[in-house]
Amino acid sequence: MSETSDPELGHRILLIEDNAGDARLVALMLDDAADGLFELQHVDRLEAAWERLPGTGCVLVDLSLPDADGLEAVERLQLLAPELPIIVITGRDDLGIAVEALQKGAQDYLIKGRVDGQLLTRALRYAIERKRAEIALAHQALHDPLTGLPNRALFVDRLEQALVRNARRSSTIAVLFVDLDRFKVVNDSLGHAAGDRVLTGLGERLSAVLRPGDTVARFGGDEFTVLCTDLEDEKEAFAIAERIAGALATPYDLEGAAVVLTASIGIALATADHPSAQSLIRNADAAMYRAKEHGRARWLLFDEAIHKRAVQRLETEVALRRSLDDGDFRLHYQPVVHADGDLVGFEALVRWQHPSRGLVAPAGFIPLAEETGLVERLGAWVLDEACAQARRWLDHPSSGRPLMMSVNVSARQLRSLSMADQVVAALRSCALPPGDLCLEITESALIEDIDATVEALEALHSIGVLLAVDDFGTGYTTLKNLKRFPIDIIKVDAGFVSGLGRDRGDAAITMAVIRLAHALGMTTVAEGVETQEQLELLRTLGCDLVQGYHLGGPLPADEALSRWRIPAGVGR
């Protein structure tokens, strides 16, 4: 027989059959029915099949061979060539054996004497197509669809196999956890299509600098993992990290712009203390986060100090979750004052009443809350409590007039689909007028996704609440985008206010921000006012409102009120 010219249909079939008469019968059946679709090759024992397997499309195997009896032939074929479809053709009419053969990987089980050419041809075609589909599905399940690289599941599997092999050797295994720095800026500024091109390009660059046999996988998002085996020592792992960093130095051409990205890399080495793949990945991940904290664009080897920090972080997360359930958070209120000295309102600032560490400031837990997603739950509590407190002040006869209550909103909260509903519910629960509530969003949060930000802000603004840009001047908001945002208040970052009277640049920037805000019909608030000199300069520059320790620091509700001669107890 000859192979067909159609590559989609032509397959070489290997028949493993020790009975020459049966082998001749199979050949005749295929000649008669297959019409040249298959090229049949024949061997009479299993050992003779090994050299014929490359290029074979399907294997027909008898269960009574001189060197393999029963299902041993199926098992050995499946072990050595798992990608090949196998069809058993035997004289054994045994349902139990047939089921077991299929369980061991055979595609079909045919009984000699009950097979004709058409049935055999159909069985071969179905077996080949089923195996092709199985391989495609297996590849999809184990590879990232965007980059084509192994995914997390395949990476973990290869690492587990490497650890088993390494138990019998003295070489070093390293896992490198690679995370792009500020990748979100690319997605938000140039679009997700550009971000996808970066990820695909990074996968190609990583593959190009690794050794044959190393594995690079897309672990998720902008995170990649690298498995290096048979290293002589840790220095080889360091050299690979340097090559990865060097591969990133070439700019990406995105939308006509040359964009240079960096990565933070964590390295973990397999030792007797790392019995599992997951622990090794976890340690590399912890080292990566520590490298990012050190300033990005660097690599770091996991050590005991990082381990202790990772354990502390986990303990903090557990305590944070427990405290959310137990109500261990408090609100302190910092006054927001008109430049002429009149009280305008308060900013609600959350504190954590930690069971052993005492009162913890936001810097000690908010970053972790944002990373773990707990910030949404915490933010909802802050919103409800702050609105209720504002209502209590509004109801007290000594307050005299409404006081603005400012509440910080994270980027995650802002883009939550339920944010507007949460605000409405918080206002209704205590009958607080919407105009008494001001939601503060940092400038960096506003620019993460401009279109989504505008949509979220417009939904909130339609409720009637005030909206403020916090830490203005520290991000990259363009005038075009600022004009799109329905903002009422701009808060000048404390970093500029602190330089007033000493730094002409800070004074110029502060004045420019104030003028810009006024030109757009917005109110200005200067944060971080520490001295009388700063206050006087801000008055001269025309700043509307001020806030800082010179006017009053964050205090519990009753103390904050008494500072402004409102009787203690109103906030209780």
- Predicted local distance difference test score (pLDDT) of residue 496: 85
* Pair of tokens at residue 380: 């909802």
Place of tokens 């720095």: 181
Q: What is the pLDDT, as a whole number, of residue 459?
A: 95
pLDDT of the residue at 56: 92
Q: Is 103 exposed, middle or buried (0-12, 13-18, 19+ CB in 10 A)?
A: exposed
DSSP, collapsed to helix, strand or coil, labels residue 288 as helix
CB 222 within 8 A of CB 185: no
Full-model pTM: 0.60
The secondary structure of 92-145, three-state, reads: CCCHHHHHHHHHCCCCEEEECCCCCHHHHHHHHHHHHHHHHHHHHHHHHHHECC
pLDDT single digits (tens) 498-550 = 888 777 888 888 899 899 999 999 999 999 999 999 999 999 999 999 999 99
Residues 296 and 382 in one domain: no
Distances 437 to 162, 341, 482, 562 between C-alpha atoms, Å: 58, 21, 21, 21
Q: In terms of Cα–Cα distance, which of 286, 196, 213, 202 is closest to 244?
A: 202
Look-up: residue for tokens 């203690």?
A: 568
The two tokens of residue 416 are 């939550």
Instruction: Tell me the β-bridge partners of 243.
Output: none
112, 141, 170 - which closes a domain: 141
Q: How many domains does the chain have?
A: 3
Quick one: pLDDT at residue 76?
A: 93
User: Is the Cβ–Cβ distance between 559 and 568 less than 8 Å?
Assistant: yes
Secondary structure of 304-336 as H, E, C letters: HHHHHHHHHHHHHHHHHHHHHHHCCEEEEEEEE
Same domain, 458 and 435: yes
Question: Would you say 176 and 237 are in contact if contact means Cβ atoms under 8 Å apart?
Answer: yes
Do 134 and 159 lie in one domain? The reply is no
**pLDDT for res 191:** 80
Question: Which residues, listed in sequence order, are joined to residue 38 by a DSSP beta bridge?
Answer: 11
Instruction: Round to whole Å and give the CA distance between 217 and 142.
Output: 10
Whether residue 1 lies inside any domain: the answer is no
Q: Give residue 475's pLDDT.
A: 59
**Residue after which a domain boundary falls, among 141, 161, 189:** 141
Q: Is the same domain home to 48 and 67?
A: yes
Q: How far apart are CA 233 and CA 229, in angstroms?
A: 10
Instruction: Please report, for the domain that includes residue 263, its CATH number.
Output: 3.30.70.270
- Looking at residue 524, what DSSP letter applies? E
Q: Based on the domain organization, do 294 and 337 belong to the same domain? A: no
CB 274 within 8 A of CB 280: yes
Give the residue numbers spanning the domain of 521.
331-351+375-563
Residue 326 lies inside a defined structural domain of this protein: no
Residue 356 domain-assigned (yes or no): no
Indicate if 124 and 199 belong to the same structural domain: no
Residue 164 sits in the same domain as residue 212: yes
Note whether 106 and 28 are same-domain residues.
Answer: yes
**CATH code: domain of residue 54:** 3.40.50.2300
Q: How many CA atoms lie within 13 A of 50 on its CB side?
A: 5
The token pair at 490 is 């701009």
Q: What is the CATH number of the domain that holds 432?
A: 3.20.20.450
Inter-residue contact 1 to 27 (CB < 8 Å): yes
- In this structure, the strands spanning 263-269 and 172-180 are antiparallel
CA dihedral 207, 211, 214, 218 (to 10 degrees): -20
Q: How far is CA 275 from CA 153, 154, 155, 163, in A?
A: 18, 18, 16, 8
Whether residue 188 lies inside any domain: the answer is: yes
**Whether residues 134 and 236 fall in one domain:** no
- Tell me: do 447 and 559 sit in the same domain: yes
Asked whether residue 253 falls in the same domain as residue 347, the answer is no
What is the rounded distance in angstroms from the CA atom of residue 536 to the CA atom of residue 539? 5
Three-class DSSP labels, 448-493: CCHHHHHHHHHHHHCCCCEEEEEEECCCCCCHHHHHHCCCCEEEEC
> Would residue 69 count as lying in a domain?
yes
Are 399 and 528 members of one domain? yes
- Residue 500 inside a domain? The answer is yes
Those residues of the chain that have pLDDT short of 70 are 1-10, 34, 272-275, 397-400, 473-479, 564-572
